[in-house]
Amino acid sequence: MPKRVPIRICVNGQPREAFVEPAASLLELVRGTFGLTGTKEGCGTGYCGACTVLLDGQPVNACLVFAVDADHRDVLTVEGLTTHEGGLHPVQDAFVACGALQCGFCTPGMLVSTVALLRRVPYPSEADIRAALAGHLCRCTGYRSIVRAVTRAAAALAANPENPALPQPARPRGMRSRA
Ligand code: FES
Ligand code: FES
């Protein structure tokens, strides 16, 4: 059995520690070790986007990232989108309001990629939205409602800067970023 490797990681603003096998994926870490099952496993090979999380703010396919490569870095999963009061993030509200989900399997990845997009491009065009979500496959919605939801979320965030933004990760003491 391969020797397990200790890692320290900031997940949804909380410092976490784990011992992982060298070949374990970040997806296995968040779902299996940390029990954050909001992140979904679809293809397991980088094609569907269901497993998307933010790693140091950038969307990644967690099935393709080694857990050890997330050592001393920040991870955001869909569970981290809820506000400090436990409410839905404005992006989640917009997806609900626009009916931008059916089975919901693709939705957690879509949500975190949308958050990353709106941090980078507060007023995205339809082309921006489609480009940002191009790596996410949805078998149910036909995508039009998803584009509407992202547009609605952008408007909501722009209209109310006091709207709850993402919780800012609190780095564990002594933790440094590689980014
Ligand atoms: S499960 Fe990772 S891209 Fe499909
Ligand atoms: S809502 Fe079912 S896969 Fe997207």
Decide whether any atom of ligand 1 lies within 6 Å of the 46 Cβ. Answer: yes
- Identify any residues that bridge with 137 across adjacent strands, giving them in sequence order: none
pLDDT of the residue at 163: 56
Residue 18 lies in a domain: yes
> Can you give the CATH number for the domain in which 25 is found?
3.10.20.30
Cα(173) to ligand 1 centroid in Å equals 32
pLDDT at residue 153 greater than cutoff 60? yes
- Mean pLDDT for the stretch of residues 132-150: 97
Residue 176 domain flag: no
Reported as a pLDDT band with limits 50, 70 and 90, residue 162 is low
Q: 109 CB less than 6 Å from ligand 1?
A: no
116 shares its domain with 76:
no
Confidence class for position 169, pLDDT limits 50, 70, 90:
very low
DSSP letters along 78-128, please?
GGGGS-TTS---HHHHHHHHTT--SS-SSHHHHHHHHHHHHHH-SS--HHH
Please report which confidence band the pLDDT of residue 21 belongs to, taking 50, 70 and 90 as the band edges: very high
**17 inside domain:** yes
Q: Under the phi-then-psi rule, with left for phi > 0, alpha for psi from -120 to 50, and beta for the rest, what region is 111? A: alpha
Q: Is 59 in the pocket of ligand 1 (CB under 6 A)?
A: no
Pairwise pLDDT comparison (2 vs 101), residue with the higher score: 101
Dist. CA 135 → ligand 2 center (Å): 13
Kindly give the distance from the C-alpha atom of residue 166 to the centroid of ligand 2, in angstroms, as a whole number. Answer: 24
Helix 107-120 to helix 90-97 angle (10° resolution) is: 120
pLDDT for 172: 42
Q: What is the pLDDT of residues 41-95, one digit of tens each?
A: 999 999 999 999 999 999 999 999 999 999 999 999 999 998 778 899 999 999 9
Q: Whose CA is nearest to atom 2 of ligand 2?
A: 103
Where residue 134 sits, what CATH number does that domain have?
1.10.150.120
Do 136 and 69 belong to one domain?
A: no
Pair (153, 125) in one structural domain: yes
Task: To the nearest 10°, report the CA torsion of 156, 158, 163, 167.
Answer: 110
Q: What is the pLDDT of residue 179?
A: 30
- Report yes or no on 167 lying in a domain: no
C-beta of 61 in contact with ligand 1 (< 6 A): yes
Beta carbons of 27 and 78 less than 8 angstroms apart? no
Asked whether residue 174 carries a pLDDT value surpassing 70, the answer given is no
Ligand 2 atom with least separation from CA of 103: 2
- For atom 3 of ligand 2, which residue has the closest CA? 138
CA 61 to chain centre: 9
Q: How does 79-103 read in b/e, with b if 16+ C-beta sit within 10 Å?
A: bbbeeeeeeebbbbbbbeebebbee
Confidence class for position 166, pLDDT limits 50, 70, 90: very low
Has residue 114 been placed in a domain? yes
Based on the fold, state whether residues 19 and 62 are members of the same structural domain.
yes
Same domain, 69 and 9: yes
Please provide the average confidence, as pLDDT, over all residues in the chain: 91
How many domains in the chain? 2
The confidence score (pLDDT) of residue 1 equals 73
Contact assessment for residue 109 and residue 52, using Cβ atoms and an 8 Å cutoff:
yes
Q: Are 155 and 95 in the same domain?
A: yes
Other beta carbons within 10 angstroms of residue 59's beta carbon come to 22
Q: Region 19-36: what's the mean pLDDT?
A: 98
Residue 129's domain comprises: 90-159
In a domain, residue 94? The reply is yes
Residues 143 and 94 placed together within one structural domain of the fold = yes
Pocket test for ligand 1, best of 28, 61, 105 (most atoms within 8 A of CB): 61
Same domain? For 70 and 107 the reply is no
